[in-house]
Structure 1
C-alpha cells in the first residue's frame, strides 16, 4: 500500500500544491503581460496559495489573445509581496478587495463576490472569468470570435452539454429523466428547474464557471436576483448559500443571453484523469483530478516553455 493512500486528503492536497508550485516556479522568469485598455478584462479571484498557477493561467491565455487588461479579486490572503509580483507580471492589474463588493441580498462567499463584480462592471467592457487552475495550450479562435462579436461564452461541464441552452423543462428531461435528485447543490437545483413556470421563457445550460465570457452591456444583477429566489425555493436558504450555486447562476445567466458561444468540449475541457486530444486548446484542471498523473504540471511547464524567449 502506498503511503499516499492513507494520508488525509487535506495533507495530500497541501503536499501536491507545494510540489506543483515548485514545478511551475519558472513562470517568474517569463516576460510580463503588456496590458491593454481595449475593452477586454481578464478577471480572476485568487489568493496567495495559487499565485504561481494563476500566472501560468493568465499568461498562457494572454499569449493567445494578445489583448486585454487584468483585474483580480483578492480573496483576502494576497500579501504585499504577492501584489508586487502581480504588478510586475500583469501590467499593474486592478486589485479589488473582497470586502469592496456590495453583496446586498446575495450569499456571502462561494464565488458570489466574483460573479457580482462581473455583473456590476460589464456595462462597458467584456469581462472574461478565468480560474487559476487552467492552462491554455494553443490558439483559441472560438474565444477570440466571441469577444470580437460581443457574445458571451462558456466552457461546458461535459460533452452532453453541447446540446446548448435548453428550455428548463427540456433540460430536466434530458439530464434528470428520473426526477429530482439529492446530493450536491448543483444537482439539487438543476433537477428541479422544471418547477419554474415555463412562461418565464428561461433557459439553462450545464457550463463551467472556470472559464466564461460575459459580453459588454449584458444584464446585471436583476436577472441573477430573480434566479436566486428560485434557487432558494428549491434548495432552501442554507442551500442557496452553499458553494456551487454561483456556478449554477453563471450557467443560467449565459444561457439566457443572446446567442451564447458554447466552446467545443473536445478542445476546451475539464480534466478527469484522461488524455486529451492533440488539438485541445484549453484545459481546466478541476479539483478531483487536479494533480492526477502529473498532467497539470506537464501542461503548465509546456506553457511556460512557450512563454520564455527563444
Structure 2
C-alpha cells in the first residue's frame, strides 16, 4: 500500500513525465521487419506515449521484429492513428476478441494467451510500457537465435529451481497476495520447475505447445487457491514464469544488465530497465532516462 508521501510524489511526477514523453511523437517511425520476431504489448490510451518510447528503444537496440498490440479496450481512433504511423501499421487485437478458455479473464491474461497463440510460428517478446532500453541487448538476440525462452528476474537472487526446491527455500512472509499463495503450493501443481521472474519483459520461443502448459497450470492452481482468488491480479505473472521455467533451457537474464528499478540508480552497462510501480517516479531517474531515450530516438 503506497504511503501518503508516495501518493503525492506519484501525482506530482506523472504530469512532468507526461510533458517529457510527448516528445516521442516527433521521433522517426519504426521500421517493421517480418523476420519471425514479434514485439507484443498490451496497451491502453493512458500508456500510448510511454509505450512508444519503450517499444521503439527496444526495437532500435534489437534491430528485429514487428509489433503486435493487444488493445486493453481504451485505445481511441487517434491512438490507433498514432500507433499506425510510428509502428508501421501494427496488428491490433481487441481484448474482447481473445478467448481465454479455462483461464481467467482480465489481469493481462489476454496478453499472455495471445503470446502463446502467436508463438506457434514466431518468437514473441512481451514488453511492458514502463520499460526503457538503455543499451545493447545481445543476450536477447542470442536467446532468439538459440530458440530459448527468457525472463527478467523478479529479484537479483531469483534462480531456476525444481518446484519442490523452490517451496523449500521460500522465506516466511506475511503476505496475502495470490502470487505468494500459489508459490507456496507450486510443488502441488504438477510442474517440474519454477522461477520468480517478471512478466514485464519476457521472451517466448517458437513452440507447438500453444497454451497447453498455461491451461494445465491454471486449472491446477485454481483448484488450490479457489476460482475467486485465481482471478486476482498477479496470477498471469506466475503463469508466465511457469511457461518460461518449463521450456527447454530457459535463460534468466543477467540482473546487472536487465533489472527492475527500486530507486537504486542506473548502473553502467544496463540494457533494459523496468520502472516498477510506485518506485517509477522516485527521484528523477525515470524522467531523465525517458528524456535521454527520446533524444536517442530522434537522432536514430
- State whether TM-score is above 0.5: yes
**Residue 226 of structure 1 pairs with residue 216 of structure 2:** yes
CA-CA distance at 1:219 after TM superposition: 2.3
Q: Mean Cα displacement is larger for which, 115-124 or 186-195?
A: 186-195
Which of 157, 162, 174 matches 1:160? 157
Partner of 1:174: 169
The answer as to whether partners of 2:9 and 2:281 remain within 8 angstroms in 1 is no
TM-score by length of 2: 0.94
Q: Deviations over 1:45-104 (max 9, x none)?
A: 010101110000000001111111000000011111100000000011000000110112
Match of 1:248 in 2: 238
How many Å separate the matches in 1 of 2:295 and 2:42? Answer: 25
Q: Please list the CA deviations of residues 130-187 of structure 1 after superposition, one character each: whole Å capped at 9, or x if unmatched.
A: 00000000000000101111111100000111x3x211110112223x4x86411111
Q: Is the 8 A contact 1:181 1:188 kept in 2?
A: no
**Preserved CA contact (<8 Å) 1:218 1:257:** no
Q: Separation in 1 of the partners of 2:14 and 2:102? A: 35
User: Residues 169 and 181 of structure 1: is their aligned pair in 2 closer, same or farther, counting only changes over 3 Å?
Assistant: farther
Query: RMSD in angstroms over aligned alpha carbons?
Result: 1.8
SS at match of 2:226: helix
Take 2:228 and 2:116, find their aligned partners in 1: how far apart are those partners?
23
Task: For residue 154 of structure 1, give the secondary structure of its aligned residue in structure 2.
Answer: strand
Change (3 A) 1:36 1:173: same
- The answer to whether the 8 Å contact 2:9/2:282 transfers is no
Aligned position for 1:295:
285
Please, which runs of 5 or more residues in structure 1 have no aligned partner? none
For residue 43 of structure 1, report the CA deviation from its aligned partner. 0.3
Confirm or deny that 1:78 pairs with 2:75. yes
1:124 aligns with one of 104, 121, 124: 121
Normalising by structure 1, we get a TM-score of 0.91
* Deviating 4+ runs (over 2 angstroms): 5-9, 11-19
Query: Does the CA contact (< 8 Å) of 1:33 and 1:90 recur in 2?
Result: yes
Provide structure 2 residue ranges, at least 5 long, that are not aligned to the other structure: none
The answer for the alignment partner of 1:97 in structure 2 is 94
Q: Does the 8 A contact of 1:181 with 1:191 survive in 2?
A: no
Question: How far apart, in 1, do the equivalents of 2:74 and 2:127 lie?
Answer: 18
CA–CA distance in 2 between the matches of 1:58 and 1:94? 14
How much does 1:235 deviate? 1.7
Change (3 A) 1:40 1:255: same
2:60 matches 1:24 = no
Identify the match of residue 111 of structure 2 among 106, 111, 114.
114
SS at match of 2:121: coil
